[in-house]
Amino acid sequence: MTWSSVSFSPLDTLWLCLALCFLVAFIIHKASTQLPVVNRKSTLFILFQDLIRYGKTKQKLNRSKWLTVFDVPKRWFWHFYAISVCWNVFLLLLSFNCMHQLQPYPSWLTGMMEILAGVPVFDGHAPQLSTVLVQLLLCVHSLRRLLECLFVSVFSDGSMHLVQYLFGLGYYIVLGLTLLCSDKMARGPSTHLYQLDWMQTAGFLLFIAASLVQHQSMVLLAGLRKGKSGRVETLAHRVPEGGWFELVSCPHYFAELLIYISLGFVLGRFSVTWWFVILYVLFNQALAGQLCHDLYVSKYDSYPKHRRAFIPFVL
Mutual angle of helices 77-100 and 162-184, in 10-degree steps: 20
Tell me the pLDDT band of 41, cut-offs 50, 70 and 90: confident
Q: What is the pLDDT of residues 199-231, one digit of tens each?
A: 888 999 999 999 999 999 999 998 888 877 778
Q: In 3-state terms, what secondary structure has residue 308?
A: strand
Q: Which of 56, 80, 295, 263 is nearest to 159 (CA)?
A: 56
**Amino acid at residue number 235:** L
| Helix (H) / strand (E) containing 27 | helix 10-32
Domain ranges of the chain: 10-299
**Residues 307, 97: Cα–Cα separation, whole Å:** 48
Q: What is the pLDDT of residues 80-134, one digit of tens each?
A: 999 999 999 999 999 988 888 778 888 899 889 888 888 776 556 778 888 999 9
Tell me the pLDDT band of 298, cut-offs 50, 70 and 90: confident
Tell me the pLDDT band of 55, cut-offs 50, 70 and 90: confident
Please name the residues in contact with 302: beta carbons below 8 A apart, sequence gap of 6 or more: none
Task: Give strand pairing partners of 73.
Answer: 159
Task: Look at residue 39 in the predicted model and tell me its pLDDT.
Answer: 67
Task: Look at residue 193 in the predicted model and tell me its pLDDT.
Answer: 52
**Amino acid at residue number 126:** A
Q: What is the pLDDT of residues 57-76, one digit of tens each?
A: 887 788 888 888 999 999 99
**Residues 95, 105: Cα–Cα separation, whole Å:** 8
Task: Look at residue 37 in the predicted model and tell me its pLDDT.
Answer: 67
- CB atoms under 10 Å from CB of 226, counted, come to 14
Residue 144 φ then ψ, to 5°: -60, -45
Q: Work out the burial of residue 215: count CB atoms within 10 Å of its CB; fewer than 13 is exposed, 13-18 middle, 19 or more buried.
A: middle
Tell me the pLDDT band of 4, cut-offs 50, 70 and 90: very low
**Residues 140, 120: Cα–Cα separation, whole Å:** 30
Of 113 and 143, the one with more pLDDT? 143
**Residues 165, 126: Cα–Cα separation, whole Å:** 34
